Amino acid sequence: EVQCTECDHHLIMPHSCGHRSCPHCQHHESQQWLERQLKKQVPAEYFLLTFTLPKEFRELAWRHQRVLYSFMIRCAWETVKLFTQNDKKLKGTAGAIAVLHTHSRRLDYHPHVHLVVPAAAIDKKKKLWRTKNDGYLFNHKALAK
């Protein structure tokens, strides 16, 4: 706590631990990361996709984390690429931001990948930029298979 010698004003300053999981210490870093990502945005609607490892594979994932986490991210990205290339309106390659989470909010072991994906794609052969504004990115039933 800091107190002004001129007036009665008090200011509470929390201890800074510097740990990467500390919400106070990492707030500035998080804000800077968010600002960098927002500058990279393309003019399109965005969607959040979540790919969860089935419960039956969690023990295996726990024992082989490096391999399974890499595999999860690769599978999620390949799925998005396939769906984007096969989409009637997009027919191209999309971009995405992927984040691996290993635990739920309750801190249970629950590996899953979040991808933020624009409803936009580049057709490199035809040099076209395509977007769609259907209110959905992909058919959820097909994506869930």
93 has a pLDDT exceeding 90: yes
- pLDDT given at position 11: 76
Same domain, 26 and 56: no
The region that residue 75 occupies, defined by phi over 0 for left and psi between -120 and 50 for alpha, beta otherwise, is: alpha
95 has a pLDDT exceeding 80: yes
Same domain, 70 and 27: no
Percentage of the chain modeled with pLDDT above 70: 96
Same domain, 87 and 76: yes
Output DSSP code: residue 19.
-
Q: Provide the residue range defining the domain that includes 119.
A: 42-143
- pLDDT given at position 14: 65
Same domain, 73 and 19: no
Least confident of 16-25, 76-85, 99-108: 16-25
CA–CA distance, 139 with 144 (Å, rounded to integer): 9
Question: Mean pLDDT across the stretch 52-70?
Answer: 96
Instruction: Grade residue 77 by pLDDT with cuts at 50, 70 and 90.
Output: very high
Q: Global pTM?
A: 0.75
**Pairing relationship of beta strands 2-3 and 97-103 according to DSSP bridges:** unpaired
The region that residue 83 occupies, defined by phi over 0 for left and psi between -120 and 50 for alpha, beta otherwise, is: alpha
Same domain, 16 and 50: no
Same domain, 103 and 33: no
114-137 pLDDT per residue, tens:
999 999 999 999 999 999 998 889
